[in-house]
Amino acid sequence: MTYVIDNLQYANWSEKIFREMREGGVDAVHVTISYHENFRETVLNFEKWNRWFEQFPDLIFHGEWGGDVRRARETGRTAIFFGFQNPAPIEDDIGLVEIVHKLGARFMQLTYNNQSLLATGCYEAEDPGITRMGKQVIKEMNRVGLVVDMSHSADRSTIEAADISERPIAITHANLHSWQPALRNKRDDVVRAVVENGGMMGFSMYPHHLKDKSDCTLESFCEMIARAAETFGAEHFGIGSDLCQDQPDSIVEWMRVGRWSKEIDYGEGSASAPGFPPQPDWFRDNRDFGNIQNGLRKIGFSENEIAGVMGDNWLRFYDENFTPEKTI
């Protein structure tokens, strides 16, 4: 039995997408519910999801623990796990780490591209690493079971986070820098630091992270996964598609700019086309995960390795890292 887990999406959620998840046999999705929102604004996003859970109980439900992925498979639904792409929801209050975990958050990036109170983003010129507050927040995240996510973080900060954290950390959505040298993709020493500490990395199908962008071939993408598996061990990798399905182009501005700048930050896009690029033709929506399975099979992955990348590796990570540390 192969579980299908996508460990990062930021779609424009609708009944159509929830039904496509079911058509694609997707057992669990980690969804972004905060980019730059403060605590109160993030609570409103929790409320919005609660309404969807009420409206579509036959399609989706709120996932909190690894066992919920198994329950999703048994009941023919998709478990939805919450995460933040920025530490903005905890503001400057370490006490909110436990609160957001109790509300259902399971992943939190320490930064989104820029310097934060906790760490340095991948777009900054200098990377002084994890801050004093960052070290304390990592410790608290470890205690409550909120996973440290370094997808948009700079190299030194990511390596330090992996070493400081007493529990494995994650890069939920990125690719190998050696395959496609985007700012957001991860160099080998960064990946090594994460996996040697038991961490996980999800591969992204967001075109700016792909070789040849929207024209990237399935074969090229699967060859990158094969290289990562051969170098670091297949058990450390999964999917984090970064699918932004049906989002209007205006959402890119919120993702990139939030409220920190009056100017448009095009990030990895071009000034002439700041919107979302087209998805590659082999991964347009949640119905296309079978293409990745077939691509991995074609380049020689074993069935166990395919099952791991498609979901089993993330499920093991969920089982071990969402629960609070045991106290005596």
Rounded alpha-carbon distances, angstroms, from residue 160 to 96, 178, 204:
23, 21, 23
Residue 328 — pLDDT band, cuts 50, 70, 90?
Answer: very low
| Inter-residue contact 142 to 165 (CB < 8 Å) | yes
Which pLDDT does position 271 carry in this prediction? 44
Question: For 74-103, what is the mean pLDDT?
Answer: 98
Provide the pLDDT for residue 249.
Answer: 83
Query: Which of 121-135, 249-263, 309-323 is the least confident region?
Result: 249-263
- The pLDDT tens digits of the residues spanning 13-54 come to 999 999 999 999 999 999 999 999 999 999 999 999 999 999
pLDDT for the residue numbered 327: 62
Among 85, 92, 78, CA closest to 17: 78
Average pLDDT over residues 151-180: 98
Question: Residue 304 and residue 312: Cα distance in Å, rounded?
Answer: 9
Structurally, at CATH architecture level, domain 5-321 sits in Alpha-Beta Barrel (3.20)
Characterize 168-207 residue by residue with b for buried, 16 or more Cβ atoms within 10 angstroms of its Cβ, and e for exposed: bbbbbbbbbbebbebebbbeeebbbbbbebbbbbbbbbbb
Residue 20 near residue 246 (C-beta atoms within 8 A): no
| Centroid of chain to Cα 263 | 27
CA distances from 185 to 15, 27, 34, 214, 230 (A): 32, 26, 21, 16, 18
Model confidence at 131: pLDDT above 50? yes
Phi then psi dihedrals of residue 148, to 5 deg:
-75, 120
Compute the residue count for the chain: 328
Q: Which two tokens stand for residue 56?
A: 């579509």
What are the structural domain ranges in the chain? 5-321
CB 252 within 8 A of CB 276: yes
Q: How far is CA 266 from CA 158, 242, 251, 255, 305, in A?
A: 23, 17, 12, 10, 37
Quick one: pLDDT band at residue 268, thresholds 50, 70, 90? low
Q: Over the chain, what is the mean pLDDT?
A: 95
With cut-offs at 50, 70 and 90, classify the pLDDT of residue 269.
low
Task: State the pLDDT at residue 267.
Answer: 62
DSSP structural state of residue 252: H
Q: Which residue has the tokens 């395919």?
A: 306
Q: For residue 95, with 0-12 CB atoms within 10 Å meaning exposed, 13-18 middle and 19 or more buried, which class applies?
A: exposed
Q: What angle do CA 45, 51, 54 make, to 5 degrees?
A: 145
Q: Which of 261 and 85 is assigned the larger pLDDT? A: 85
Does 109 have pLDDT greater than 70? yes
At which residue do the structure tokens 């598609």 appear? 241
Q: Read off the pTM.
A: 0.95
Can you tell me the mean pLDDT for 71-77?
A: 98
